[in-house]
A and B are shown apart, each in its own frame.
Chain A
Amino acid sequence: MSISLKRIQAIFIKDYKEFTRNYAISIMVLFPIVFALLYRGNESAEMGTYGFLYNFTFAMLTSFIQACLIAEEKERNTLRSMMMTPASTWDVLIGKSALVFVISSAVLAVVTYLLGSEPANIGAFLIANILSIILYSALGTICGLFSKTLLEASLSVFPVLILFTGAPFGLLLVDDVPLLKVLDYMPSSQFIELLDVMQTTSAIGEVAKPLLIMLAWTIVLTVVSVVMYQKRLKDE
């Protein structure tokens, strides 16, 4: 499978131009920032609250925008046209995820700055964010490829929001419903756990477990999104 930086860049630039002219979607970048402003200076806010804000951003920004961008391309048939050009699966998927990656990184940087949180292990914190952006944008790609229309895609973010962003809250009920223990393996729960752990330690051994679980999610979701895209190449 061929990867061409030139094609990836061309797709990125195209998406950037479209995004800046698509106010319905570009306005989404404001939500996490507004929340961060509200939480800011709230003395009682704990790491868990911060973690929630990050997880919310991954779902509402990363997954949502990615799902909408992909679904719109499907609805307008531009994806099929692009599939007919020499752009390979990786060119298209990387090119189309690059914009969301950049936007998410920028918004998360602003959010982190506003919250004024200082994670003990910056390296682990960065890796956790990068893995999350990749896995949530793969999730968005999957939602976008499943949806037939833009509307369907924008609704598909709610199951993601409930399942992923909501998982850490589900964990609170684990004493009543032991089955909910599985929610501990959601990347969102692991993200919060990581923030928690890092309050007291920056030891590699402690931060490795959440990062590895998130890495596993990243790999699985990326593979699923690539396989789904390649199925879409066919029109059976």
Chain B
Amino acid sequence: MDVIKVTHVQKRFGSKDALADVSFSIPKGEIFGFLGPSGSGKTTLIKILTAQLNTTNGQATVLNQPAGMMHHSAQKMRFGILTDNSGLYERLTIEENLELYRQLYDLPKASIDRVLQFVNLSGERKKRFSVLSKGMRQRAILACAIIHEPELLFLDEPTSALDPVNAAHIYKGLRYLNEKGTTIFLTTHNMAEAELLCHRVAILYQGSIKAIGSPKELKRQYRDNQVRIELTNGEIHELPQGEETADRIADWMKRGFIDRIETKEPSLGDIFIKMTGSELL
């Protein structure tokens, strides 16, 4: 069963397409990553999927309903969202903020303890939101987004501007949530994060998907078939696989010149740059 199904979605702002023609689907239980340079339409897509924007053309279905229905209370019980414009109440403690969300979602009291452990903030629960560090803030906001253990979670750059330790906390939480059945839709600029976390990724560029698949598949698909040979005299050759290269290698090998041979596999970042011609963080 697909949790998200997007077919030929277009979104136009004025005379400019933020999304040109986007189609993909996400099965239940997947962590799906959307990669794309700034302005490629990632946030726009999340807004469409959560009924904050209408599409210009095409259809989007989320949790078996048209995306436009996502503002109904019954649907809102089923998903959680964290974006760069999520916020909590500065004058309230983490616990008081969570108490509000607990009541809005009509959950038992125990859900606060559980989610605090989850994001590793049990010790800070009495602190006001205004005094928290950036990483703690982000985790507190995440806690409010997942307190109801949603079926589907949207994360718009959840770890941008976080240090690796805080990011690792969040990854751990997300994996755990995913194991318990939450489908996760994530956007990021961070290739390592995508590789670490996502079952599948899509690369979005100028409003359309340029590549989609598991990180492994993409790497295989975009392997450029080069072999990298280091010789004992320090020379390095990068050659295309083929008869000619085989002869040269055979020759070097007979003379005992070869120090090291490896096939070159592109990183997600390499693929990204190839697809978009732009450099990521």
Chain A residues in the interface with B (C-beta under 8 A): 2, 4, 6-7, 9-11, 13-14, 17-18, 21-22, 76-78, 80-88, 233-236
Most chain B beta-carbon neighbours within 10 Å: one of A4, A6, A80, A85: A85
Q: Which residue of A lies closest to B53 (CB)?
A: A235
Interface centre among B77, B89, B104, B144 (most CB of A within 10 A): B104
Closest to A81 in B: B86
Contact residue among B85, B91, B104 (Cβ-Cβ distance under 8 Å from A86): B104
Chain B residues engaging chain A, CB cutoff 8 angstroms: 47, 50-54, 71, 73-74, 76-77, 80-81, 85-92, 96, 99-101, 103-106, 141, 144
User: In the complex, which of the residues B85, B101, B106 contacts A6, with contact meaning CB atoms closer than 8 Å?
Assistant: B106
Complex contact A77–B86 (CB within 8 A)? yes
Q: A170: shortest Cβ distance to chain B, in Å?
A: 39
Mind listing 10 A-B residue pairs with CB under 8 Å?
A: A10-B100, A11-B104, A14-B89, A17-B91, A80-B85, A81-B141, A86-B77, A233-B52, A234-B51, A235-B53
Known contacts A6-B106, A7-B103, A14-B100; A84 and B53 CB within 8 A of each other? no
A234 to B88, CA, bound (A): 20
Contact A78 B53 (CB under 8 A): no
Q: How far is the CA of A83 from the CA of B99 in the complex (A)?
A: 16
Q: Could you tell me the distance between the alpha carbons of A7 and B99 in the complex, rounded to whole angstroms?
A: 11
| Contact A77 B87, CB 8 Å, known A2-B73, A84-B81 | yes
4 closest A-B pairs by beta carbon, nearest first, are A77-B87, A10-B103, A86-B73, A85-B104
Q: How far is the CB of B25 from chain A (nearest CB, A)?
A: 23
Which A residue's beta carbon lies closest to that of B44? A235
- Determine whether the beta carbon of B88 is less than 8 Å from that of A78: yes
Give the distance in Å from the alpha carbon of A190 to the alpha carbon of B47 in the complex.
45
Nearest chain B CB to A148 CB, angstrom units: 13
Residue from A9, A17, A85, A236 in contact with B101 in the complex, judged by beta carbons closer than 8 Å: A85
Find chain B residues with CB under 8 A from A82 CB.
104
Contact B92 A14 (CB under 8 A): yes
A84 → chain B closest CB, angstroms = 5
Cβ–Cβ < 8 Å partners of A77 in chain B? 85-87
- The answer to whether B87 touches A78, judged by C-beta atoms less than 8 angstroms apart, is yes
Give A233 to B90 CA distance when docked, in angstroms: 22
With A10-B104, A81-B86: A234-B91 Cβ-Cβ less than 8 Å = no
Nearest-CB distance from A97 to chain B (Å)? 17
Cβ contact within 8 Å between A80 and B86: yes
- The distance from the CB of A15 to the nearest CB of chain B, in whole angstroms, is 9
The residues of A that contact B76 with a CB separation of less than 8 Å are 84-86
Known A7-B103, A10-B100, A86-B105: A21·B53 in contact at CB below 8 Å: no
Residues from chain A with Cβ under 8 Å of B103 in the complex: 6-7, 9-10
Residues of B within 8 A of A235 (CB): 47, 52-53
A80 (CB) vs chain B CBs: closest residue: B85
Contacts of B81 in A (CB 8 A): 84
| B92 and A85 contact, CB distance less than 8 A | no
Q: Closest residue to B102 on the A side, CB-wise?
A: A10
Taking A6-B106, A11-B100, A81-B87 as known contacts, 19 extra A-B pairs with beta carbons closer than 8 A to each other, sorted by chain A number, are A7-B104, A10-B99, A17-B96, A18-B89, A21-B91, A76-B90, A77-B85, A78-B87, A78-B89, A80-B87, A81-B144, A82-B104, A84-B80, A84-B86, A86-B104, A87-B73, A87-B104, A234-B51, A235-B53
